[in-house]
Structure 1
């Protein structure tokens, strides 16, 4: 699978990863007044500051996505998108909602993997030059990205005594542990990708709900956030777990 998709998989992963930022940026454009009024009503900050918040979210997200897709200033784009995540976490009171907080952290893990990929591309220009010290930050970015990505799957686990739910929880937890430890990482990440993609299409089918209903926006938000985590997992499949992993340790032992 990797041999057949090695040139396509990173591009697909990047596109999926930034999809939630593209969707949210477009929502800021089409729902400018609603978003401004919500921030003004929640924080009582006045329409000027509320408009500035919407403007920052709109251009910060769209601009960051353009830079990521064009492969220009990716590190600056990722830092800007990190800032957007932090800003929205505070502005929308996500800090007090554990489920949404974990999903935002998982999205941040995907951005860490994107940063690691950009560092890898930058060093490939100087093949043959020793880069032992430079590789360490990238390896820890990959580790941090793996750890944060699995938070998305923790929000999908359900406490249920049904046979299917128990089996799903056991298999999902096992795959998450493999990704965290970095053992059989690519296979585990690919399996989690297929699992998350299938559950996302089934549970977050926002296109089946009329646009005027509030549930449409909630499902759409969940769908694109899950799709971004799929993109992060695809980058794990394409890049591997990095140096801080059992897979890498096994290679060195051999």
Structure 2
């Protein structure tokens, strides 16, 4: 019993020490974290858009076969898909019309599933995770009138921008939780337990920055492990690379959580009034 009683205070002290060190890290890097987050967040869209361009002939023939629509129509669909990835990614990186760019990226997530006729029960968690990262990016951009000029104009008449930002942060955290992968091997089960536990803390906004930091490191570790372990299997490399950049985008979303904090829709925020 004595050991059990001592364990809890020791754990509390350990977590408190981690929070202090992480807070110090955030303060020192608060100006650079959002920039890194943006680069990581658009990584999957840049990779996918450029890959489709390099495989343009193969992609347009595939879509033409799926929809029996002819090469002209399939080419137009691919051009729209590439445009809706590369152009918004560029706008986000240069902080121009981020509100429009984020909407375009969300549209692209669904548009791509449509043109490739992907079943809606396949890869849905991954798509939700990407949408969550985009929503967090939009929430971060709401602090800059030059980055979201349309939202700022709407805020004069129709939108409570601060309230919208808080809801975007909450929705983004919830969608990011879909990045947790299920599996049946011992390693996958450990990854699921750790990832799911951290995701729940991020969703409810409890010790949010620390939880997001640990989950970002956890995902990065397994991201590189998965690619390195499957490097010799050429038949699945394209899937592994897609998953790699998808997880990079999720890490970018987590960095936005770290940079922004949880917002008012969180336990961390409510604790100030307890």
CA contact (8 A) 1:9 1:238 kept: yes
1:96-148 superposed Cα distances (whole Å, 9 cap, x missing partner)? 344x1110111001010111111122399x9xxxxx93211111111000000
Deviation (angstroms), 1:251: 1.7
Q: TM-score, normalised by structure 1?
A: 0.87
RMSD of aligned alpha carbons: 2.2
Distance in structure 2 (CA, Å) of the matches to 1:177 and 1:84: 28
Correspondence for 1:150? 177
Picking from 241, 245, 252, the partner of 2:266 is 245
Stretch moving more, 74-83 or 54-63: 54-63
Deviation (angstroms), 1:57: 1.7
Distance 1:244-1:94 versus aligned 2 partners, 3 A rule: farther
Q: TM-score, normalised by structure 2?
A: 0.81
Aligned residues: 240
Give the alignment of 1:92-241 within 5 angstroms.
92-98=116-122, 100-122=123-145, 133-153=160-180, 156-160=181-185, 162=186, 166-205=189-228, 208-209=231-232, 213-241=234-262
CA contact (8 A) 2:212 2:257 kept: yes
Q: Secondary structure at the match of 1:121?
A: coil
Correspondence for 1:90? 114
CA contact (8 A) 2:182 2:189 kept: no
Distance 1:48-1:165 versus aligned 2 partners, 3 A rule: closer
CA contact (8 A) 1:23 1:224 kept: yes
1:176-208 superposed Cα distances (whole Å, 9 cap, x missing partner)? 110010000000011000010111111134993
Deviation (angstroms), 1:252: 3.1
CA contact (8 A) 1:95 1:101 kept: no
Larger Rg: 2
Correspondence for 1:129? none
CA contact (8 A) 1:94 1:101 kept: no
CA contact (8 A) 1:116 1:142 kept: yes
Deviation (angstroms), 1:95: 3.8
